[in-house]
Amino acid sequence: MEIKVVENTIVKEADILVVNQFEGEKTTNDLANKYAVEEDNFKGKFGETYLLPTYGNAPYRKVLVIGFGKKEEFCPNKLREAVAKAIKKCSQMEAKKVAFDIKGVDFDYSEQLTMGAFIADYKFDKYKSEKKDKHIQEVFVQADEMKVRKAEKIAAAMTFARNLANEPAQFATPTELASIAQDFGLETKIYDREECEKMGMGAFLAVGRGSDEEPKFIHMKYTCDNPKKRIAIIGKGICFDSGGLDIKPASSMLTMKDDMSGAACILGVMSIIKEFNPQVEVHGIIAACENMPSGKAYKPGDILTAMNGKTIEIDNTDAEGRLTLADALCYACELKVDEVIDLATLTGACMVALGSHAAGIMGNDETLVHNLIDTAKRNGEKFWELPLWEEYFDSLKSEVADMKNSGARWGGASAAGVFLQKFVKDVKWAHIDIAGTAFLDKPQKELIAGASGAGVRTLLGYILEQ
């Protein structure tokens, strides 16, 4: 799909012209006003659509009216959602060229229109032998060219992340993630098992030991002259989470190829970062491995030593993400960056708390956490702060080691956060739990079921606004 910025979309030859209608108002299109609004009493409620043929009386074959809802409730997020809805309608009708004539909106919609169009056009059909090509080829809009091009890149990063997280675990292995990371033209270092052992990453390596796939620790670096800030972004990279010896029930294991969605987000961001040339240094870090049961697997009761020397008693081999992140956080802290942000499909508890609409966020620096929440809001995502009180460590106390990797069932998202904090030293840090938002079991707003690209828009937004 290509977005073309033009002066006047109404004169453009297109299969469908999309016009908007605020609730109780008219559209800018005479035909639509005559038939949809006056004759059929179309109200323009949010998300409702009305399709009208033009029978050769206009350069476009059909007009699609899209309801924008109440004007006072309209916002950039609603615009993106409505545009996505229109695009989906158009592609159902196998339209190839679509023109948008959007009027009466009192904010610059260039970015969200572009995002909505690309998000709605996404399909994961590479393994279908019969592909229904319902992709729209050209979208004509009146918009700010620069903003459209920027959003297009962010959308591409999101697509990149969605493709990776949708990819079955048989293909998206740690080795594959490492090889992808090396394709971005960034300074990249891949550490293999022996090198990780030398660095003392006993927690990460224990998790990966049960699998026949080699673990890979990935470090990508983007930099520029005189960076204003240095940031490390870490993504949980469990390419498959079977639970390990504490094996998951079948229904919970079904979607566990998505347990590298944090890593997919980091790879999405790093795939495009050079094109933006931001004035910050960004380190992308992934401890990639699989959590599998086998004769070599780590066991409940084992005691592991992380890179910072802290010891961890294994209470449950299914609480593996925090172990891999522990070593990744230690590694990131040694880089002496200003901020560390990790993204992880970490806990079912976060999913229980917030569902699939919001990610949980916690951290040791109020400003960083609040900035990320605001950035998320402006970029079409929702983050909600969860507490990071030391009390949550009570259930992680161990008789034999410095801590256990899991404990009480209640408050599991915060307990995981407090666990991670033990591996954070002298740096501003935020942890984002995307267990609920990364992979959807059914369509939600502009997203189809499957990988959502969680975190990409917010992280890129955050990096670009520095």
* Catalytic residue IDs: 248, 322
**In terms of CB distance, is 416 or 456 closer to ligand BES?**
416
Note the Cα 440 to chain centre separation in Å.
11
Between CA 275 and CA 259 the distance in angstroms is 28
Tell me whether residue 24 or residue 443 sits nearer to ligand BES (CB atom).
443
Number of other residues whose CB lies within 10 A of the CB of residue 408: 11
Tracing tokens 């499957």 back to the chain, one arrives at 450
Beta bridge partners of residue 256, listed in sequence order: none
CA dist 238 and 262 (Å) reads 9
- Region of residue 45 (left: phi > 0; alpha: psi -120 to 50; beta: else): beta
Query: For residue 84, is it left (φ>0), alpha (ψ between -120 and 50) or beta?
Result: alpha
Q: Considering the rule CB under 6 A, would residue 300 count as an interface residue with ligand BES?
A: no
Binding track, positions 327-346, relative to ligand BES; x by CB under 6 A: ------------------xx
Judged by beta carbon, residue 349 or residue 451, the one nearer ligand BES is 349
Asked if 241 touches Mn ion (CB under 5 A), the answer is: yes
Which one, 117 or 292, has the nearer CB to Mn ion?
Answer: 292
Q: Which does 406 bind (CB under 5 to 8 A by kind): Mn ion, ligand BES, Zn ion, none?
A: ligand BES
Nearer to ligand BES, 284 or 321 (CB): 321
CB of 350 to ligand BES, least distance (A): 8
Shortest distance in whole angstroms from residue 462 CB to ligand BES = 23
Determine if 351 is a binding residue for ligand BES (CB under 6 A). yes
User: What track of x and - describes contact with ligand BES for positions 381 through 410 (by CB under 6 A)?
Assistant: -------------------------x----
Minimum gap (Å) between residue 348 Cβ and ligand BES: 3
Half-sphere exposure of 47 (CA within 13 A, CB side): 6
Closer residue to ligand BES, CB minimum distance, 142 or 345: 345
Partner whose binding site includes residue 316, from ligand BES, Mn ion, Zn ion, none (CB under 5 to 8 Å by kind) = ligand BES
Residues 6+ apart with CB under 8 A from 161: 261, 264, 265, 267, 268, 451, 453, 455, 456
Interaction of residue 433 with Mn ion, rule CB under 5 A: no
CA angle 127–160–156, rounded 5-degree value: 120
| Residue (237 or 453) nearer to Zn ion, CB | 237
Does 315 sit near Mn ion (CB under 5 A)?
no
Is residue 320 involved in binding ligand BES (CB under 6 A)?
Answer: yes
Q: What does the alpha-carbon distance between residue 96 and residue 84 come to, in Å, rounded to a whole number?
A: 15
Q: Which of Mn ion, Zn ion, ligand BES, none sits in contact with 304, Cβ below 5 to 8 A by type?
A: none
Interacting residues toward Zn ion by CB under 5 A:
238, 241, 259, 321
- Contacting range for Mn ion; rule: CB under 5 A; set: 31-39, 240-248, 262-270, 367-375: 240-248
Question: Closest separation between CB of residue 318 and ligand BES, Å?
Answer: 4
Tell me which of 81, 121, 259, 339 binds ligand BES, using CB under 6 A: 259
Least distance to Zn ion from the beta carbon of 206, Å?
14
By CB under 6 A, name the binding residues for ligand BES. Answer: 241, 259, 316, 318-321, 345-349, 351, 406, 412, 435
